[in-house]
Amino acid sequence: MYDDVFKTTKFNIEPQRWFCPNCSELIIAYQDENGKAKKRCCNCGAAMTRYKKKRGTNIIEITEPERYRAY
């Protein structure tokens, strides 16, 4: 029963794991329907978006924490 539900979903239900390049905190996120995993680091506040460019290549876009932005 549950196998049919998992096969018909549009997005990957497996968690995506990587380390924050800013503070080395473990980040765990799930992909949305566009194939992007978005998460904000709870330690340093950096916002990250991870997506697959092509086979074997993952891109991580990092936005600096709000507390370090110049006004």
pTM over 0.75: no
pLDDT in tens, 17-43: 999 888 889 999 988 888 889 998 888
**Nearby residues of 28 by Cβ (< 8 Å), 6 or more positions away:** 15, 16, 17, 39
Give the helix/strand (H/E) hosting 2: helix 2-8
**Nearby residues of 53 by Cβ (< 8 Å), 6 or more positions away:** 59
Residues 42/25, Cβ–Cβ less than 8 Å: yes
What domain count does the chain have? 1
Q: Which domain holds residue 24?
A: 2-68
